[in-house]
Amino acid sequence: MANRQKLHQNRTKSCTSSKKGVFRVIGGQHKGRKLNFIEVEGLRPSLDRVRETLFNWLQAQIHGAKVLDLFAGSGALGIEALSRNADWVQFVELNTKAAGQLANNLELLKSKNSQLVTGDALKFIETNQTSFDIIFLDPPFHQGIAQQVIDLLAEATWLKAETLVYLETEQDLALEIPEHWNLLKNKKAGQLLYKLYQVS
């Protein structure tokens, strides 16, 4: 718990100064739409080419899916899922400025099939009772959070079989992945490593 509080404090401190950036929706009903996001340390939208590859991987599963976007940040992944007709997207973001801008974007898009929780992703995993078809994990780099998230998810009673788990991390990060998570896709982009698992 002390370690988690320290990570929370570090993230909060790194989020004190911010400015706006822009990301673009890659496909679906909002294709080409440009949206603002808050630029704070540790939060960044997934690269366009990474999102394009990811949603090519998910093209057969995204329609009608129930999606969880943990560490949502800009909300680029979840918004992309909404644009491609996901049934529901649950956003979770700790940083209040980033969450505020994400809420504005969802309002601009007139999204009625999404919910935003401003809070800690680790606590959300522990208290959530809803199952999802797809989970996006893009935690802040170099803060030791990714392994904690994986460990908590592996123990979560609501994580059902066949769930797809997308994980984006720094390339040199060594992680212990649960044996019942089957690796489906694996790719690199610069210093990023991104993978798609399916829970067996």
Q: What is the pLDDT of residue 6?
A: 41
CATH number of the domain encompassing residue 153: 3.40.50.150
For the chain, how far is it from start to end, CA to CA, in angstroms? 30
**Strand, coil or helix: what is 133?**
coil
pTM score of the predicted model:
0.89
Handedness of CA 141, 67, 178, 126 (dihedral sign): positive
Residues 31-64 as b/e (b if ≥16 CB within 10 A, e otherwise) read eebebebbbbebbbbbbeebbebbbebbeebbee
| Boundaries of domain holding 115 | 2-199
Cα distances (angstroms) measured from residue 67 to each of 4, 134, 165, 178, 187: 25, 5, 10, 21, 21
Q: What is the pLDDT of residue 42?
A: 62
Measured CA to CA, the distance from residue 39 to residue 100 in angstroms comes to 12
Token representation of residue 194: 């991104």
Q: What is the pLDDT of residue 102?
A: 96
* Tens digit of each residue's pLDDT, the chain (200 residues): 444 444 444 444 334 445 789 999 999 999 999 999 988 776 667 889 999 999 999 999 999 999 999 999 999 999 999 999 999 999 999 999 999 999 999 999 999 999 999 999 999 999 999 999 999 999 988 888 999 999 999 999 999 999 999 999 999 899 999 999 999 999 999 889 999 999 99
Report the domain count for the chain: 1
Nearest to 69 by CA among 153, 3, 159, 132: 132
Q: What is the pLDDT of residue 40?
A: 74
CB 71 within 8 A of CB 138: yes
Q: What is the pLDDT of residue 8?
A: 45
Q: What is the pLDDT of residue 44?
A: 64
Q: What is the pLDDT of residue 18?
A: 58
CB 132 within 8 A of CB 163: yes
Cα distances (angstroms) measured from residue 29 to each of 23, 53, 55: 16, 18, 14
Question: What is the number of alpha carbons within 13 Å of residue 126 lying toward its C-beta?
Answer: 7
